[in-house]
C-alpha cells in the first residue's frame, strides 16, 4: 500500500487495484490489505464491502477481444 492508502500492482506499469474500471466489480469493495500473490497472479487479502470486513481473491482475467 502506498502512503495515499492505495494498493498498486507493478507489471509493466503501476495499477490501482481499487480502481472500479480495473476490477469490473460494482459491489463497492475497498481493498485494505494484500497478503499474498501466487505465480498465476491471484491476489488474496482483506477489504471492506457493505461496511463489513471480508477476505478477497482477485483472479486475473484475459483481456476482452474488441
Asked if the structure places residue 29 within a domain, the reply is yes
- Please state the domain count of the chain: 1
pLDDT tens for the 66 residues of the chain, in order: 555 565 555 555 666 777 766 666 667 788 888 889 898 889 899 999 889 999 999 888 777 775
**pTM of the entire predicted model:** 0.63
What domain range includes position 42?
8-58
Are 47 and 30 in contact by the 8 Å Cβ rule? The answer is yes
Asked if the structure places residue 1 within a domain, the reply is no
Closest CA to 16 of 24, 3, 6: 6
Asked if the structure places residue 35 within a domain, the reply is yes
pLDDT at res. 32:
87
Asked if the structure places residue 26 within a domain, the reply is yes
pLDDT at res. 5:
62
The contacts of residue 18 (CB under 8 Å, 6+ apart) are 6, 7, 29, 30, 31
Asked if the structure places residue 63 within a domain, the reply is no
Asked if the structure places residue 37 within a domain, the reply is yes
Amino acid at each position: 500500500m502506498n502512503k495515499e492508502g492505495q494498493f498498486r500492482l507493478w507489471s509493466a506499469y503501476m495499477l490501482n487495484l481499487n480502481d472500479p474500471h480495473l476490477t469490473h466489480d460494482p459491489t463497492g469493495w475497498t481493498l485494505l490489505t494484500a497478503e499474498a500473490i501466487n505465480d498465476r497472479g491471484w491476489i488474496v487479502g482483506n477489504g471492506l464491502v457493505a461496511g463489513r470486513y471480508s477476505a478477497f481473491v482477485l483472479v486475473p482475467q484475459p483481456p476482452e477481444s474488441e
